[in-house]
Amino acid sequence: MLKLCDNPSRSGDFPRSLLYLVVLALVGWGAVTAVAENASLDIKVDQVGYLLNAPKVVLVTAAGRTFEVRRAADNATVFRETLGPALSDADTGDQVRTADFSSLREAGTYYLFVPDVGRSWTFSIRPDVFSRAYYLAMRAFYGQRCGVAVDLGPEFPGFSHAACHLKGEFHSSSGKQGPRDNVGGWHDAGDYGRYVVNSGISTGTLLWAWELFGDKVKNIKLNIPESGNGTPDILNEARWNLEWMLKMQDDDGGAWQKQTSERFPGFIMPEDDKLSSEVIGTGQAPYKSTCATADLAALAAIAARVYKPFDAKFAARNLEAARKAWLWTEKYPNVTFRNPPGVSTGEYGDDSCKDERLWAAAELWRTTGEQGYNEFFLKNYADFRPSLDSPSPEGWREVAPMGLWTYALADRKGDAVATADIRKSTAAAARAIVERTRKNPYHVSMVAKDYVWGSNGVAANYGMALLVANVLAPDPSFRETALDNLHYLLGRNAFSLSWVTQVGEHPFRHPHHRPSGADKNAEPWPGMLSGGPNADRQDAVLRALPADLPPAKIYADDQGSYASNEICINWQAALVFLLAGNLP
Ligand SMILES: [Zn+2]
């Protein structure tokens, strides 16, 4: 089965008792700090907060009439208003009222008080309110580094692991044999595999965050080993994975699909995983796969322009890799991948690599301006325009929007008709998202069918689409609606839960993430986005929840729920993009 973060069931999973879940739901246990122990889960607030000059809305799912915003320091009431009317929300089954205090424009730390209901978790109003969350979300990639010892330092004592997966070899399906010690890259998700397809969209999203919001992120130091080397840290971190991806390219230009063990290890630390790390291919000539190769071409083409001012040699190496990869996909336009016999790790399989090739051609044209890439794009782009109107929830699988957007975002002059067409379609799709988000009682862009594996990534990707639209066809409502989706992820949701570990007073605490499960720390590794509610219930924890739950409530903060509570680099990258776009 294909999934957003494509990981079939894991060994070493164990559902916790449902009683625990009930206790969690009833008393809201799990706050990292004791500041607001008595907060009501019926008041749903972005636990990070709100931008000074943006709309500020909190949601209330209990019967109340008025609300107050109180200053946390002295409990003084600074704003008082009536709640909006109760609206029925089909996706959660909740009756939802809005508490709108957009006109409050005084920076500070506050909480909401609703008579007869209680108080909310605390939140801030500041122009740089998302800076800390951005820092932690980017540092989560550092925590996923493979092949090197990782230590989050004095800020998070005890969050460390020794160098892992230092030995690799060619699997029989790769067409080669012997040792292949490609060290590096990021662990993909809660497991320790590394996958070129998912690496492509994830690393590409980070490089795009740099290209679109470089001014906002360039001076944010991530306290990683490369900090201070003259290159912005977001690019330093992305390069860690990119270097590994480049090593997955064979001499003929093709890229192998993945490097993982044959099966998932148990819930152990990465350095204790002694299963052999295998470069895995398709099992028959040409052994490499087209989607992986085209994703590598797209990513390396972006890297060729992004890294040029900081490391021209590295940029040139990327351009050469991208060209070679592109040529390989011309020779083999649709070699798809399925797990070879005996391999049960994530597949990231895809029936069609046409959209990956479209993305690669567009990025190569944007970087080089060469006609061959332009012609391929112009011949094919119209087939993919509908993907802007109804994006696939599987962002790693359907990368056509990246191809279309990058063509229209390019500084160089492309075909005027195609550019105008993409711009118009992107803006129209964004307006439709804005309209339905305004009607949604939870102020989220999600529709019922979006509550799939990795639904939080779907929410983050709506945010990304809106921010891209705001660049192509600026409209304040695009940015405001992007913020709505960010608010949803940070606590303004049915569970009143921040879906980013160690962010906010009431974050989720039991990710399906091996280091968090195996280490001695009470809290999970910080800055990681949960997969989120999933109506498809592919794990036993979700199947044990009541049968009549509405889709947006099918979620469990339980390590065993890999289908709703795993972390994954692709939706993590979309979160970073959304946060980066809202930095000052
Ligand atoms: Zn590793």
pLDDT in tens, 187-231: 999 999 999 999 999 999 999 999 999 999 999 999 999 999 999
- The pLDDT of residue 38 is 81
pLDDT at 100 over 70: yes
pLDDT at 6 over 80: no
CA of 81 to the centre of ligand 1 (A): 52
Residues 93, 96, 100, CA angle at the centre, nearest 5°? 160
d(CA 544, CA 444): 27
Structure tokens at 110: 């506050």
pLDDT at 25 over 60: no
CA of 199 to the centre of ligand 1 (A): 15
H runs (alpha helix) in 74-195? 131-143
Query: Which residue, 129, 360, 137, 164, is CA-closest to 237?
Result: 137
pLDDT at 39 over 80: yes
Query: Taking residues 548-562, what's their average pLDDT?
Result: 98
pLDDT at 27 over 50: no
Average pLDDT, the chain: 93
Residue in the structure block whose two tokens are 């280490």: 519
CA of 151 to the centre of ligand 1 (A): 14
List residues with catalytic annotation. Answer: 191, 512, 557, 566
Query: Which of the four pLDDT bands, split at 50, 70 and 90, describes residue 31?
Result: very low
Is the distance from CB of 79 to CB of 68 less than 8 angstroms?
A: yes
Which residue type is seen at 450?
A: D
Residue in the structure block whose two tokens are 């797209």: 298
d(CA 545, CA 22): 10
Phi, psi of 128 (to 5 degrees): -110, 35
Q: What is the pLDDT of residues 67-91, one digit of tens each?
A: 999 999 999 999 999 999 999 999 9
pLDDT over 90, % of the chain: 91
386: Cβ–Cβ under 8 A, 6 or more apart, which residues? none
Q: What is the pLDDT of residues 356-400, one digit of tens each?
A: 999 999 999 999 999 999 999 999 999 999 999 888 777 888 999
pLDDT at 583 over 70: yes
Q: How far is Cα of residue 575 from the mean position of the Cα atoms in its chain? A: 5
CA of 146 to the centre of ligand 1 (A): 4
Supply the pTM of this predicted model.
Answer: 0.94
- The pLDDT of residue 37 is 60
Q: What is the pLDDT of residues 264-311, one digit of tens each?
A: 999 999 999 999 999 999 999 999 999 999 999 999 999 999 999 999
CA of 164 to the centre of ligand 1 (A): 4
* 61, 93, 378, 410, 553 from 86: Cα distances, Å: 8, 12, 49, 45, 19
Q: What is the pLDDT of residues 498-515, one digit of tens each?
A: 999 999 999 999 999 999
Q: How far is Cα of residue 375 from the mean position of the Cα atoms in its chain? A: 32
Q: Which helix (H) or strand (E) holds 213?
A: helix 196-217
- The pLDDT of residue 206 is 98
Query: Taking residues 471-485, what's their average pLDDT?
Result: 98
- The pLDDT of residue 2 is 37
pLDDT at 247 over 80: yes
d(CA 360, CA 304): 13
Query: Taking residues 239-261, what's their average pLDDT?
Result: 98
CA of 566 to the centre of ligand 1 (A): 17
Q: How far is Cα of residue 302 from the mean position of the Cα atoms in its chain? A: 19
- The pLDDT of residue 392 is 79
pLDDT at 23 over 70: no
CA of 148 to the centre of ligand 1 (A): 8
- Which residues are bridge partners to 124 per DSSP? 49, 109
CA of 169 to the centre of ligand 1 (A): 14
- The pLDDT of residue 424 is 97
